[in-house]
Homo-oligomer: A and B are copies of this chain.
Amino acid sequence: MPILLDTTNAPVLQRLLDETDTSGLTWTIEPGGAQALPPGEIRVAGIANLERAGPQEISFVANPRYQSQLTDARAAAVLVTPEVAQAYRESLREAGRLDHALTLVVCNSPYLMFARIGQWFDKQIHPQPPGSIHPSAVVDPGAEVDPSAHVGPLAVIEKGAQVGPRARIGAGCYVGEGCRIGADSVLHPRVTLYRGVVMGARCIILSGAVIGEDGFGFAPDPSRAKGAWCKIPQFGGVRIGDDVEIGANTTIDRGALDDTVIGNGVKIDNQIMIGHNCQIGDHTAMAACVGIAGSTTIGQRCSIGGAAMIGGHLKIGDDVFISAATPVHSNIDKPGQYTGFFPMTEHAQWERNAVAVRHLATMAKRIKALEKK
């Protein structure tokens, strides 16, 4: 659904760019050829991928590899780097088709600018709701909800919880005793925050996420039965920085004695599990289905591929990239990419190779023996 606004509400290109947050961006409009509308008449009703964008939609080319798609594009305007702009003009000149030129917005970072324009549209379509508490919500009299905050239907907010300015608590959320939710943070429907979770500003928590549940801590208790366990109560908390996104059905344990800590700007996808006492450094991003066992520290600006599994009590440094589906069982000090998974093949081939894997150590010895001959 790329058309986001109807024509009446769609801004002209210049106004759209003026109203977009362009901090860190530099840009200029480069008018299209004779067949394009003049910039003052281009209305931008939505955003779209280049091959789908129609004459009311803005698009982008972030990767020079896709530059050739510009030839057939019909977009209202396209965000490009100076390099792509120049190559595009040259190819048009060579083909003698300069009058077909698209309107370009030449900027230092088209992908980022595209994201920011998307945010402009998002604000038009989903404006901040007025401060209000739905009559069906159950808000403890000892909770403090900022008058500008919005609490959805059937949400529960317990004693001592603080909900900051313009924060939004979705339908069916549970906000435990003493939680603190910073300004402009958003809980989507059906999120659980256990007691005492502290969250900064502008966080986004997706539906079904659970934050602050007990960590998995048990002491062997043979006095009850052979192999029995005794629960270790979990007294630590969870502290979450600013600008954190936490995905759907993700779970983050509270600490055992100290806190579990999620740094600023961390992006956590769906169905991720973060164990008690983990510390995740600023701006680290992790794709879906990642698991991190307890007491592991991960540095800043790391990227963790989907379904990577990271053991407990480890230290991963800054700027580390773990490939998808990789199990991590040791510390990583050095920035770089790390990988470990068995390569997929047709099943019959895998079967033959898997048999050999079981004899690898022996094979190594046999090679050594042969070399000694």
The distance from the CB of A204 to the nearest CB of chain B, in whole angstroms, is 8
Report yes or no: B327 in contact with A341, Cβ–Cβ below 8 A. Answer: yes
Picked from B114, B116, B339, B350, the residue with its CB within 8 Å of the CB of A340 is B350
Report yes or no: A347 in contact with B323, Cβ–Cβ below 8 A. Answer: yes
Report yes or no: A207 in contact with B228, Cβ–Cβ below 8 A. Answer: no
Interface string of A183-194 (1 = CB under 8 A from B): 000001110101
Report yes or no: B306 in contact with A309, Cβ–Cβ below 8 A. Answer: yes
Q: How far is the CA of A40 from the CA of B43 in the complex (A)?
A: 76
Report yes or no: A338 in contact with B327, Cβ–Cβ below 8 A. Answer: no
Q: Number of A interface residues, CB 8 Å?
A: 140
The distance from the CB of A50 to the nearest CB of chain B, in whole angstroms, is 11
The distance from the CB of A140 to the nearest CB of chain B, in whole angstroms, is 9
The distance from the CB of A330 to the nearest CB of chain B, in whole angstroms, is 7
Report yes or no: B338 in contact with A1, Cβ–Cβ below 8 A. Answer: no
Interface string of A226-261 (1 = CB under 8 A from B): 111111110111000001010111010100011100
Interface string of A264-296 (1 = CB under 8 A from B): 110101110101000000110101110101000
Q: SS class of chain A's interface: helix, strand, loop or mixed?
A: loop
Q: How far is the CA of A300 from the CA of B318 in the complex (A)?
A: 41
| A152, A214, A344 pick with most chain B CB within 10 angstroms | A344
* A38 adjacent to chain B (CB < 8 Å): no
Q: How far is the CA of A208 from the CA of B253 in the complex (A)?
A: 13
Q: Given A208-B210, A233-B122, A257-B52 in contact, is the A361-B366 Cβ separation under 8 Å?
A: no
Interface residues of A in 65-124 (CB under 8 A from B): 109, 111-112, 114-116, 118-119, 121-122
Picked from B46, B285, B349, the residue with its CB within 8 Å of the CB of A358 is B349
Q: How far is the CA of A112 from the CA of B220 in the complex (A)?
A: 7
Query: CB-CB < 8 A to A213: which residues of B?
Result: 188, 206-207, 247-248, 270
* A128 adjacent to chain B (CB < 8 Å): no
* A143 adjacent to chain B (CB < 8 Å): no
Report yes or no: A271 in contact with B291, Cβ–Cβ below 8 A. Answer: yes
* A301 adjacent to chain B (CB < 8 Å): yes
* A345 adjacent to chain B (CB < 8 Å): yes
Report yes or no: B228 in contact with A251, Cβ–Cβ below 8 A. Answer: no
Picked from B174, B214, B300, the residue with its CB within 8 Å of the CB of A227 is B300
Picked from B121, B226, B350, the residue with its CB within 8 Å of the CB of A339 is B350
